[in-house]
Each structure stands twice: as structure tokens, then as C-alpha cells.
């Protein structure tokens, strides 16, 4: 056989089975085109785990939710309970409530799955809140991630609604009380409130259509939207590449971390099972939402100490703290400001402020650059203080929603707690803002001192001429680089009100931007300049009347050398 002849088919070596399966799959799905994901780099930082916890909780929510749909009956038709739970035998209830009891007491593993589903919803919402707060405090919402910020925040709102709808499906007395509040809030919206109420409830509350409509949105509409948004969110993360904190070798043009395969996949897989196991443990030993203890919903009854799930606590607190206030406008329409302000206007303002913050900050600063390196919270004192004040407002309202429970448990006056919440809504956020900003500025000042003099050790040394000094340790090059590479944010220059005797037509707009930029970036602690670092080095070398400090030379030189990577990074 010559070199140009083809060997018989039987004499050729057959490819391994795994390779043949991979070729068959690639020819039909084109998975080889995604080979870039194998070396996709993921940075390492503990704060990134919040997004993963939310994702893994969502996966568990889908799995347990599919299981629950096999047994739940989304109907408000009345039935008489004759199940094994003796205290409710013979009680008239909806089929939705009866099927929830059946899942809890008669279906094998039903109570475990129910509680895992509920705990997963609470954990996912908490993880998303922390994930959003982390993005806000580190500035990862800046260009080019504004759209992804909006997608993520929209997911948070949808998940809160999804949790509220799912919480209301059993039609027990506690969730029915929450839906009655939602009905009142809907009716409080002027002009369109009655029409929205008709679409949502199908008539007067509670009606017969409430649970079926909530069920459709809970298992189909909202999960589908969230699933799509999750995929778009992750795709944009891959497209824009991951953000990372400043450090040696980290620039705006690279990502330092571990590859997707095999490092990140192994860690992520283990973390998924850890989250799943924790939620299963919580579902097995930590009771939550015992609907049999509340009984079925009756419009003329209410459970004492009613508390919603934690993510709706701030809304409950706002309603309890708001004084009664209503008036009638021409045409005979009653406007109930006692409900409209705390339950409609306040949440809407809170949502819009956080959602639009990236665009406000970009407009104020005029910064159109791409940002892939994160700020530490102390690097942006005003933003951090505002975020902490926002959280403190939420917490004040959250505890206000439990004023009756607090009054009972601690033997306090209910009215005193309510007035404390009313005052705290204004005082606590303002105080939190001032204190947080001062702490951030103090941390900036400490970082500056570390760069100039090194890290304090607490060790005291006596010099030959009798002076006592504290021994400082020099910063390593990585720590020095991280401190020196932060951005020095500065306010905009004052605008000119006129040019050549002609009034500036954009003076008002520019003055507003100038004032906002002073609020955002004014009075910050500047990084030491290279000249200051060298002066610190010279001072350390000639300390103690010509007797060099045993550690001063090294600490100052380390700070000067740490600036070199900073030059390369930019």
C-alpha cells in the first residue's frame, strides 16, 4: 500500500467513546465555541458569595416549588377539614388552606419541603439585599454596568413580590391579614386604585379569585421573568468581565483570580451543596410559618402579634408609624394620606433613589470612563454614609412593624414605641449618615498615616539620647499599593455665571452639579504625594538627631516603592 492510499475502515483506530460523544454534541450544539469559558477568570473575595447564595437559593426554590405544585390546590372554594390535625377538624376552610395542611401532615416529607421552600425564599431575598448593598458601597454600578444594576435591582423587587405572593397562597389567618392590608393600600391609590383592586382581587376583598391569580403569578409569570433576568444578568457579567478590588497586578484591563475550570467550578459546586445542606437543615429543625397554628382566614378575625416576613417589615412599620390623615378632594374622592404616604409614596421614592443613583453620580461627576476596579467603602465616604443611612431607615421602620411584640415582650408602652419610631425615622438616618462619614474619613486618615509612617506595633523603644518612640512596621508592597492606588475624588470647579459679560445659560444646572459634587466628594483626605513620601523617608533617616530610626527607613521606603505598581496600573 502506497502512502497515498487510504487504509481500510476496519484498520483505522477508533476514537475514544468520550471524544466521539463530545464531537457528536459539538456538531449539533456548537459547544466548542464556548471554550473561552474554560479559562474565564473569577476574582476571589468573600463579598462575592452573596450573589452565589442568592443563585443557589433560587435553584432550590425552583426544585421545591415544582414538588409543591403537585399537591397544592389553588382554590378558594370552601370545604370542611377532616384530616389528622384534630384542633381544626370540622372547621370550614378554603381548599388552598386544606391542601397546605395535607402537605404538612399527610404527604411524606411535605413539611420539610414546605419549610425548605420558605427558608430558601427568605435567604435568597437576604442574599440579594446584601449583594445589592455590596455593589452600592463599592461602586460597581458605574459604567459600563448601569444596565446590569437596573436588572439586578428589578430582580430584587420581583423576588420580594414573589415571596409575598407565595406567603399568601395558604390562605391562613396571618397571610390573609397581609392581603387585607394590600387590599387597603391598593384602594388608597387615587383614581386608579379601585380599578387595580378589581383586576387583582376580582371584586370585593377577599373574593374567590385571589388565590388562583396569585398562584399563576407565583409559579409561572414572576419565576419566568426572574429566570430570564438571571441569565441576562450573568451574561452581562461575563461580557463586561468581573470587577475586582485594587491590589498588585490588578488594573482596569485585567482580572486576577482563578480560572472557571477546574478551580471555580469545584469551589462553586461545593458551595452549592453547602447552601443546599444548610437550607435543608433549617427546614428540618427550624419551624417557620406554622399555618395550622393560625387557622383559616376569616374576614372578621385577626391574629395577635401579626408579623409579615422580614422583607415586608419596613412597610408594616411605616403604616403603623404614620398618623391618620385623610381629606376629600373636589368630586367626592377621599385621599387617605395615612396609607398613601407610608405604603405607596415612601417605598416608591426609596426604590427610585437607589435605582437611579448610578445615573445621578455619573451626571454630577461627568465621569464617562469605564470602571472595573472597586472602591473600598471608606474611599467614598458620602456614598457609604448615604447607604448606611438608607439601611438605618429600613431598620427603624422594620422594628416599628413589631411595636406590639416589643411592647409585650419588654413591658413598654405601645404609644412610646410608636413615637420613638416616628422620631427615629428622621433622627436615626441623619445621625447614622454623620457618624458613618466621620468614620470613613478617619479610616482614610489612618491609611494616609500608614503610608507615611508604617503600621503601629505597640512596642516602645528608647533611643540613645533618651527619647521614647513607638516601633512601626513597614507596609508590604501589596498593602502599600492597595492604599496608594485608590482614586482621589475631587469636586467639580465652581462654574462661571457669565463669560465676557454674557450670562451663562446653563448656570443653574452647573451650579447644581457643583453643589452636588461638593456634597459627594468634598472634604476628603487626599493621598500623600510622592514628595510627601520622600520627605517622610528623609525624616525617618535623620530622626533622633542623626540616629536613624531602626524601622523608619524601611517603612518610608516601602511606601515610596509601593507607588511604582500604581504607575503601571494606570
What is residue 548's predicted lDDT score, i.e. its pLDDT?
47
What is residue 6's predicted lDDT score, i.e. its pLDDT?
56
The radius of gyration of the chain from alpha carbons, rounded to an integer in Å, stands at 31
Look over the chain and give the mean of its residue pLDDT values, rounded to a whole number. Answer: 86
**Core vs surface per residue 312-350: b (16+ CB within 10 A) or e:** bbbbbbbbbbbeeeeeeeeeeeebbbebbbbbbebeeeb
Q: Which residue has the higher pLDDT, 280 or 508?
A: 280
Mean of pLDDT values over 406-420: 93
pLDDT above 90 (res 429): yes
What is residue 36's predicted lDDT score, i.e. its pLDDT?
67
pLDDT above 70 (res 277): yes
Segment 248-258, tens digit of pLDDT: 888 888 888 88
**Nearest-5° angle of CA 127, CA 129, CA 134?**
95
Confidence of residue 544 (pLDDT cuts 50, 70, 90): very low
What is residue 5's predicted lDDT score, i.e. its pLDDT?
57
Mean of pLDDT values over 13-17: 77
Mean of pLDDT values over 279-305: 89
Segment 445-488, tens digit of pLDDT: 988 888 887 788 788 888 788 888 777 777 777 777 778 777 77
Q: What CA–CA distance (Å, rounded) separates 506 from 104?
A: 66
Segment 308-346, tens digit of pLDDT: 889 999 999 999 999 988 888 887 788 889 999 999 999
Mean of pLDDT values over 118-125: 96
Q: What CA–CA distance (Å, rounded) separates 267 from 263?
A: 6
What is residue 540's predicted lDDT score, i.e. its pLDDT?
61
What is residue 490's predicted lDDT score, i.e. its pLDDT?
83
Lowest mean pLDDT among 28-42, 63-77, 222-236, 375-389: 28-42
Percent of the chain past pLDDT 70, that is, above it, reads 90
Q: How many CA atoms lie within 13 A of 260 on its CB side?
A: 10
Confidence of residue 73 (pLDDT cuts 50, 70, 90): very high
Segment 144-199, tens digit of pLDDT: 999 999 999 999 999 999 999 999 999 999 999 889 999 999 988 888 888 988 88
Q: Which residue has the higher pLDDT, 79 or 549?
A: 79
Beta strands 258-259; 41-42: pairing state? antiparallel
Q: What CA–CA distance (Å, rounded) separates 26 from 30?
A: 5
Q: Which residue has the higher pLDDT, 299 or 384?
A: 384
pLDDT above 70 (res 359): yes
Contact 13, 7 (CB under 8 A): no
Q: Which residue has the higher pLDDT, 226 or 22?
A: 226
What is the DSSP code string of 6-55?
PPPGGGSPPPPHHHHHHHHHHHHH-GGGGGGGGG-EE---GGGHHHHHHH
Q: List beta partners, residue 165.
A: none
Confidence of residue 437 (pLDDT cuts 50, 70, 90): very high
Tell me the residue length of the chain.
Answer: 570
Helix axes 552-569, 530-541, angle to 10 degrees: 160
pLDDT above 50 (res 357): yes
Burial degree of 63 (CB within 10 A; 0-12, 13-18, 19+): middle
Q: What CA–CA distance (Å, rounded) separates 124 from 99?
A: 25
Lowest mean pLDDT among 112-116, 311-315, 428-432: 311-315
Contacts of 344 (CB under 8 A, 6+ apart): 185, 188, 189
Confidence of residue 525 (pLDDT cuts 50, 70, 90): confident
What is residue 284's predicted lDDT score, i.e. its pLDDT?
94
Q: What CA–CA distance (Å, rounded) separates 253 from 232?
A: 23
What pTM value is reported for the model?
Answer: 0.87
Amino acid at each position: 500500500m502506497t502512502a497515498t492510499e487510504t487504509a481500510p475502515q476496519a484498520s483505522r483506530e477508533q476514537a475514544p467513546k468520550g471524544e466521539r460523544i463530545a464531537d457528536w454534541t459539538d456538531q449539533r450544539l456548537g459547544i466548542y465555541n464556548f471554550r473561552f469559558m474554560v479559562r474565564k477568570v473569577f476574582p476571589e473575595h468573600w463579598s462575592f458569595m452573596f450573589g452565589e447564595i442568592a443563585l443557589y437559593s433560587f435553584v432550590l426554590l425552583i426544585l421545591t416549588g415544582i414538588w409543591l405544585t403537585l399537591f397544592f390546590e389553588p382554590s378558594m372554594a370552601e370545604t370542611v377539614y377532616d384530616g389528622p390535625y384534630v384542633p381544626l377538624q370540622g372547621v370550614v376552610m378554603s381548599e388552598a388552606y386544606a391542601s397546605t395542611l395535607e402537605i404538612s401532615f399527610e404527604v411524606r416529607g411535605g413539611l420539610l419541603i414546605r419549610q425548605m421552600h420558605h427558608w430558601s425564599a427568605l435567604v435568597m431575598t437576604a442574599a440579594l439585599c446584601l449583594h445589592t448593598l455590596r455593589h452600592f458601597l463599592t461602586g460597581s454600578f458605574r459604567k459600563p454596568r448601569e444596565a446590569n444594576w437596573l436588572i439586578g435591582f428589578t430582580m430584587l423587587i420581583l423576588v420580594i413580590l414573589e415571596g409575598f405572593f407565595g406567603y399568601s397562597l395558604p390562605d391562613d389567618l396571618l397571610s390573609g391579614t397581609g392581603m387585607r392590608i394590600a387590599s387597603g393600600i391598593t384602594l388608597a391609590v387615587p383614581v386608579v386604585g379601585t380599578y387595580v383592586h378589581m383586576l387583582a382581587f376580582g371584586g370585593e376583598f377577599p373574593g374567590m379569585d385571589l388565590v388562583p391569580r396569585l398562584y399563576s403569578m407565583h409559579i409561572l409569570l414572576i419565576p419566568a421573568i426572574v429566570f430570564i433576568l438571571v441569565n441576562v444578568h450573568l451574561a452581562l457579567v461575563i461580557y463586561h468581565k468581573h470587577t475586582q478590588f485594587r491590589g498588585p497586578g490588578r488594573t482596569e484591563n485585567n482580572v486576577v483570580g482563578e480560572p472557571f475550570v477546574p478551580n471555580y467550578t469545584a469551589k462553586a459546586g461545593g458551595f452549592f451543596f453547602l447552601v443546599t445542606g444548610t437550607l435543608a437543615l433549617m427546614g428540618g429543625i427550624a419551624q417557620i410559618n406554622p399555618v395550622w397554628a393560625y387557622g383559616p382566614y376569616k374576614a372578621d378575625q385577626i391574629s395577635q402579634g401579626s408579623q409579615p416576613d422580614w422583607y415586608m417589615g419596613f412597610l408594616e412599620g411605616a403604616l403603623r408609624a404614620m398618623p391618620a390623615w385623610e381629606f376629600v378632594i373636589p368630586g367626592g374622592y377621599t385621599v387617605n394620606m395615612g396609607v398613601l404616604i407610608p405604603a405607596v409614596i415612601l417605598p416608591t421614592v426609596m426604590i427610585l433613589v437607589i435605582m437611579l443613583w448610578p445615573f445621578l453620580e455619573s451626571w454630577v461627576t461627568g465621569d464617562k470612563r469605564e470602571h472595573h476596579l472597586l472602591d473600598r467603602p471608606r474611599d467614598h465616604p458620602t456614598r457609604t454614609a448615604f447607604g448606611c443611612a438608607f439601611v438605618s431607615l429600613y431598620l427603624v421602620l422594620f422594628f416599628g412593624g413589631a411595636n406590639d411584640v416589643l411592647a409585650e415582650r419588654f413591658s413598654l408602652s405601645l404609644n412610646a414605641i410608636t413615637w420613638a419610631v416616628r422620631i427615629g425615622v428622621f433622627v436615626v438616618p441623619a445621625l447614622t449618615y454623620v457618624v458613618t462619614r466621620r468614620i470613613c474619613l478617619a479610616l482614610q486618615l489612618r491609611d494616609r498615616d500608614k503610608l507615611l509612617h508604617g503600621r503601629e506595633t505597640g512596642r516602645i523603644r528608647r533611643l540613645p539620647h533618651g527619647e521614647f518612640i513607638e516601633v512601626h512596621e513597614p507596609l508590604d508592597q501589596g498593602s502599600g499599593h492597595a492604599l496608594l492606588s485608590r482614586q482621589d475624588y475631587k469636586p467639580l470647579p465652581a462654574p462661571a455665571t457669565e463669560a465676557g459679560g454674557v450670562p451663562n445659560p446653563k448656570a443653574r444646572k452647573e451650579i447644581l452639579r457643583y453643589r452636588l459634587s461638593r456634597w459627594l466628594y468634598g472634604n476628603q483626605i487626599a493621598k500623600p504625594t510622592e514628595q510627601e513620601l520622600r520627605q517622610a523617608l528623609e525624616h525617618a533617616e535623620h530622626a533622633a538627631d542623626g540616629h536613624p530610626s531602626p524601622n523608619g527607613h524601611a517603612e518610608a521606603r516601602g511606601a515610596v516603592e509601593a507607588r511604582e505598581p500604581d504607575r503601571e496600573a494606570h
